[in-house]
């Protein structure tokens, strides 16, 4: 187990929520995505890290594509393991609170109409991957904004496991992001195909999605 003090030092102190949210909003406005290193507040990062490390292995479900009746375990597309965050734990609550502050800020600044948030821990064992995909398809979903943050202290250049964000369906080069501790990536769910490359070590992250309200006849579409 890595000492807390050491973890906090890896991100080197944080800017204020307000400043970070403003930078994320500006990035989203100018390029549709935001990559911010060491941005996740240290107390939240450390709490999530410790919680995820303690997660009983059997709490992880093999990640499937889709949800509910569509739930389909598809080894060809992704091989990670996930655990949904419900806010029952202190770590989960801290994360959910921070996310709702971000949600409020982005709604005020960018009028995104974000209505709800869902998120999960993900563990990619060595060699695991998530092939190129969109988090949302135009007209088919209410996922608007994706957020990913990483909980891997001292990630090395040769450890692999990068998130690759592509500009559009024709882009095959992309922008690579190492899953380093405290890095936050936010992007418009319908705009950017992306993938997770295999890593040589265990890769830990939290992925979340802000949704708009698509309730019909006052029947609120539940987050999951
Ligand atoms: C996802 C995803 C990216 C990452 O869970 O949909 O694309 O870097 N995750 O873990
Ligand atoms: Mn994705």
Map out the domains of the chain with their CATH numbers. Answer: 17-211 (2.60.120.620)
Task: Give the span between the Cα atoms of 24 and 7, in whole angstroms.
Answer: 23
The CA dihedral of 97, 44, 53, 148, to the nearest 10 degrees, is 70
CA of 53 to the centre of ligand 2 (A): 22
Instruction: Identify the top-confidence range among 23-32, 52-61, 81-90.
Output: 23-32
- At 13 the pLDDT is 75
Task: Give the span between the Cα atoms of 37 and 151, in whole angstroms.
Answer: 12
Return the minimum-mean-pLDDT range out of 3-12, 60-69, 89-98, 171-180.
3-12
Q: Taking a C-beta distance cutoff of 8 angstroms, is the pair 34, 23 a contact?
A: yes
Per-residue pLDDT band for 1 (boundaries 50, 70, 90) equals very low
Residue nearest to ligand 1 atom 8, measured at CA: 163
CA of 133 to the centre of ligand 2 (A): 6
- At 75 the pLDDT is 65
Task: Give the span between the Cα atoms of 57 and 67, in whole angstroms.
Answer: 21
- Tell me which residues have their CB closer than 6 angstroms to ligand 1: 122, 130, 135, 148, 163, 194, 196, 205, 207
pTM of the model: 0.87
> How many other β-carbons are positioned within 10 Å of the β-carbon of residue 155?
20
Ligand 1 atom nearest to CA at 120: 5
Q: Please give the DSSP secondary-structure letter assigned to residue 58.
A: G
CA of 49 to the centre of ligand 2 (A): 20
- At 138 the pLDDT is 80
């Amino acid at each position: 187990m890595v000492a807390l003090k050491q973890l906090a030092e890896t991100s080197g102190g944080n800017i204020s929520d307000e400043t970070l949210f403003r930078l994320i909003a500006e990035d989203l406005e100018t390029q549709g995505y935001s990559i911010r290193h060491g941005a996740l507040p240290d107390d939240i990062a450390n709490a999530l890290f410790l919680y995820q490390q303690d997660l009983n292995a059997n709490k992880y479900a093999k990640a499937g594509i889709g949800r509910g009746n569509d739930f389909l375990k598809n080894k060809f597309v992704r091989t990670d393991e996930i655990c949904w965050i419900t806010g029952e734990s202190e770590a989960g609550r801290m994360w959910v609170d921070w996310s709702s502050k971000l949600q409020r800020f982005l709604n005020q600044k960018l009028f995104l109409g974000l209505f709800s948030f869902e998120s999960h821990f993900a563990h990619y064992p060595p060699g695991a991957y998530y092939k190129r995909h969109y988090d949302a398809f135009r007209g088919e979903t209410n996922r608007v904004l994706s957020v990913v943050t990483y909980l891997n202290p001292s990630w090395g250049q040769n450890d692999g496991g990068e998130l690759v964000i592509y500009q559009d369906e024709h882009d095959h080069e992309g922008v690579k992001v190492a899953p380093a501790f405290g890095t936050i990536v936010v992007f418009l769910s319908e705009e950017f195909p992306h993938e997770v490359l295999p890593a040589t070590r265990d890769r830990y992250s939290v992925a979340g999605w802000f949704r708009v309200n698509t309730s019909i006849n006052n029947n609120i579409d539940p987050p999951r």
